[in-house]
Structure 1
Amino acid sequence: MPTDTIFDESTSEWAIDSIDSIDSTGDVIRRTESTLELLADAINSASEVRPLNRYDISILIPVYNERETLPQVLKRIDQVMPTSTETIIVDDGSTDGTREWLLNLPERANRKVICRGRNHGKGSAVRLAIRHSRGGIVAIQDADLEYDPANLLRVVWPILDGDAEVVYGSRYLQHSSDPSLMHRLGNWLLTRASNMTTGLRLTDMETCHKAFDGDLIRSIALKECRFGFEPEITAKIAARDVGILEVPTQYEGRSNTEGKKIGWRDAASAIACMWRYRHGE
Structure 2
Amino acid sequence: MKLSIIVPAYNEEKTIWNVLDKLKSIELIGGFQREIVVVNDCSSDNTEGMVKKFIAENPFVEISYFRHEYNQGKGAALHTGIHKASGDYIIVQDADLEYDPREFNILLKPIINGFADVVYGSRFMGGKPHRILFFWHTIGNKFLTALSNMFSNLNLTDMETCYKLFRADILKNLTLVEKRFGFEPEVTAKIAKVPNIRIYEVGVSYYGRTYEEGKKINWKDGFRAIYCILRYGLGN
Same fold (TM over 0.5): yes
Q: Deviations over 1:53-111 (max 9, x none)?
A: 4xx11001100011111111111112114371000000001111001222333145621
Decide whether the 8 Å contact of 1:190 with 1:205 is kept in 2. Answer: yes
Q: 1:102 is aligned with what amino acid?
A: V
Partner of 2:39: 90
- Number of aligned residue pairs: 227
Partner of 1:157: 109
Q: 1:215 is aligned with what amino acid?
A: D
Question: Cα gap change, 1:191/1:92 in structure 2, threshold over 3 Å: closer, same or farther?
Answer: same
Give TM-score, length-normalised by structure 1: 0.77
% of aligned pairs identical?
41
What's the RMSD between the two structures over aligned residues?
1.5
Partners of 1:279 and 1:156 in 2: CA distance = 31
Partners of 2:177 and 2:120 in 1: CA distance = 20
Consecutive unaligned residues of structure 2, counting only runs of 5 or more, are none
Deviates more, 1:116-125 or 1:203-212: 116-125
Greater RCO, 1 or 2 (C-alpha within 8 Å, sep 6+) = 2
Question: Is 1:70 aligned with 2:16?
Answer: yes
Partner of 1:27: none
Decide whether the 8 Å contact of 1:167 with 1:211 is kept in 2. Answer: yes
Partners of 1:159 and 1:128 in 2: CA distance = 24
Q: Deviations over 1:132-158 (max 9, x none)?
A: 111111111101011111112211232
Partners of 1:170 and 1:178 in 2: CA distance = 14
Q: 1:254 aligns with which of 209, 219, 223?
A: 209
SS across alignment from 1:114 = strand
Superposed displacement of residue 280, structure 1: 5.3
Question: Is 1:211 aligned with 2:165?
Answer: yes
Superposed displacement of residue 186, structure 1: 1.1
Decide whether the 8 Å contact of 1:178 with 1:184 is kept in 2. Answer: no
Consecutive unaligned residues of structure 1, counting only runs of 5 or more, are 1-52
Superposed displacement of residue 160, structure 1: 2.8
State the structure with more CA Rg.
1
Superposed displacement of residue 274, structure 1: 0.6
Q: 1:220 is aligned with what amino acid?
A: L
